[in-house]
Structure 1
Amino acid sequence: MGEVRSTGRLAATLGSLGLVAGALLIAGSRHWLPPDLPSPPAQDAGEDRPALHAPIHDARPGQPARRIAENLIAPPPVDASGIERIEPRPPLGELGLASPLKTPMPQDWPGTLLYRPVASSSSIFEAMGRRVMISGTVDIDPDRTCAFGDAVWPCGQRARAAFNAWMRGRALKCLLPPDADRFAIAAPCMLGKQDVGAWLVANGWAIASPSGIYGKAESVARGAKMGIFGPPQ
């Protein structure tokens, strides 16, 4: 029984010592330094206390950093002639040596035969899913009327009918770009050996474009009162 009481007193004593040691450790943790570092000098109460974890190296503003192994990691010096240039590395495969594709020009376009053309105006027709305007011409709208003396007549409808009658049962050969299927295009066309634009303008069924090549043909049609420049037909 006495042994039990002695053991209890010993445990209580050790517990009290542990609490005291913990309190001392917490109270002194703010000023504890590792044993291998010297204690900071005593300071007056009015002075600012330096940070405990301040860097130990001397970082002076404006001073360059110390160079380490400059002969190993620094770039070679550049002389007055400038940076040395070397030849470019060859491509890894033949694909890098391929030249860009050549864009075909109008004179390189192959002639395309368009069968069963149908005129939608005096110089515009549709054939095989394409819509083509004869280049160098200005078409006459089908709703246009013309006056000759006292007579007024539907020259636009007559011009479209004349174009249809001339093309009936034939095929026009036109210089079309490779992607002409996607949009309407102005192109020169031939009917056999006859220039379609020259025939239309010379007969007065189309007007020559100011930037085209049929200006002289229009002058001849006006002088001869052909097509829209003449009497009702």
Structure 2
Amino acid sequence: MTRPGRTAIVLGGLELVAGTLLILQARTLLPADSAVPAPAQYISGEGPTGPVADNSQRRQSARKIAQNLIAPPQLDVSQIQRIEPRPPLGELGLVSGPKTPMPGDWREMLLYRPVAISSAIFESMGRTVAISGVEGIGPDKTCSFRDVAWPCGQRARAAFNSWLRGRALKCLVPPEIDRFAIAAPCKLGKQDVGAWLVSNGWASALASGIYGKAEATARAAEMGIFGTPQ
């Protein structure tokens, strides 16, 4: 017998064995009353000739396997006991309440478009801020220089506004919830606002402040309110 003939016989035998195993497996899984196609239909490669059952019929013919192991056990609700939840594994799981502002919560922030209302007080973003360490003069203040009176308060406020030009000031302020008038140190860029006011004679230094030398220099040079009418 030639080699191709032997190969055909071997392949035919393997197909027969495979078909037999498939039939045995189908008989094991299907119910006893289910019909199993003839071996010749699987060996020849042809499918079942009968009508294909719809999904509802397939669900009805399916049978449960080991339902005592898969189905959940019956629980007695009266025997269930509720226990307290375990504590969180870390601080991230804790819900934090509103934080109470403390003096240490003051921080530097930019106050935009400041407008001077006196020689050392300005308003910005709903806040009223007085420059700390200095004593300004009111806009209705009148100064006298060599028996000549002049409205130094208005001139001081105008000089402060002219220097600010609406530029943002960086000040140490409390949290947003506090909008009361405060005294705070401020800077315009890197320049100390209090130092500029006192050195130009538009405010006086407080006795407990740090601008005493600047006021002495302004008085000696007759700057601002210590000098001639502007």
TM-score range relative to shorter protein: 0.5 to 0.7
Q: Find the partner of 1:178 among 175, 179, 195.
A: 175
Cα contact 1:130–1:180 (8 A) shared by 2: no
> Residue 212 of structure 1: CA displacement?
1.1
Who is 2:112 aligned against? Answer: 115
Distance change (3 Å), C-alpha of 1:172 and 1:180: farther
Distance change (3 Å), C-alpha of 1:127 and 1:102: closer
Cα contact 2:101–2:175 (8 A) shared by 1: no
Distance change (3 Å), C-alpha of 1:103 and 1:126: closer
Who is 1:157 aligned against? Answer: 154
Q: Is 1:214 paired with 2:224?
A: no
The separation in 2 between residues aligned to 1:114 and 1:130, in whole angstroms, is 9
Who is 1:135 aligned against? Answer: 132
How many residues align structurally?
140
TM-score computed with the length of structure 2 as normaliser: 0.55
Runs (4 or more) in structure 1 with deviation over 6 Å come to 92-95
TM-score computed with the length of structure 1 as normaliser: 0.54
Which moved further from structure 2: 187-196 or 175-184? 175-184
Who is 1:166 aligned against? Answer: 163
The separation in 1 between residues aligned to 2:135 and 2:190, in whole angstroms, is 22
Distance change (3 Å), C-alpha of 1:131 and 1:226: same
Q: Is 1:146 paired with 2:143?
A: yes
Q: Which has the higher helix share?
A: 2
> Residue 213 of structure 1: CA displacement?
1.0
5+ residue gaps, structure 1, are: 1-91, 96-100
Cα contact 1:129–1:181 (8 A) shared by 2: no
> Residue 180 of structure 1: CA displacement?
6.3
> Residue 216 of structure 1: CA displacement?
1.2
> Residue 126 of structure 1: CA displacement?
0.2
SS of 1:182's equivalent in the other structure is coil
5+ residue gaps, structure 2, are: 1-85, 92-98
Cα contact 2:133–2:211 (8 A) shared by 1: yes
